[in-house]
Amino acid sequence: MDLQIRPLTMEDFDHVLQWSKDEVFCMANDWDKNRNEQELFKWWQHCVHNGSQDFIRMGIEMENKLIGYADLAFIKDNSAELGIAIGESLL
């Protein structure tokens, strides 16, 4: 299994759009289901081009396919909160 953490890209948006239609993913990650595509696209642009010093979001890729993302939030000194969202269901 080839698993990688990598920067997000705008080309990942199709996966994000698919996740936004998955009820289980949306409930688990506190997303509104079936968000407006334009609103979701603008939000994803912000995620990809984030310039925050205390927040990092990276893509989780398995076998050359984006399957989720990982966040480091509230980064300060030697501490941060870690969040992981897996959007690709194996079911």
Which domains does the chain show, CATH number per domain?
3-86 (3.40.630.30)
Cβ atoms of residues 41 and 2 within 8 Å: no
How many angstroms separate the most distant Cα atoms in the chain? 40
Share of the chain above pLDDT 70, in %: 98
Quick check: 48 pLDDT over 80?
yes
| Predicted local confidence at residue 12, as pLDDT | 95
Cβ atoms of residues 86 and 28 within 8 Å: no
Quick check: 75 pLDDT over 60?
yes
34: tokens are 């079936």
Closest CA to 3 of 60, 44, 52: 60
| Predicted local confidence at residue 10, as pLDDT | 96
Quick check: 46 pLDDT over 80?
yes
Tens digit of each residue's pLDDT (9 = 90 or more) over 30-40: 998 888 999 99
Closest CA to 58 of 3, 2, 1, 18: 3
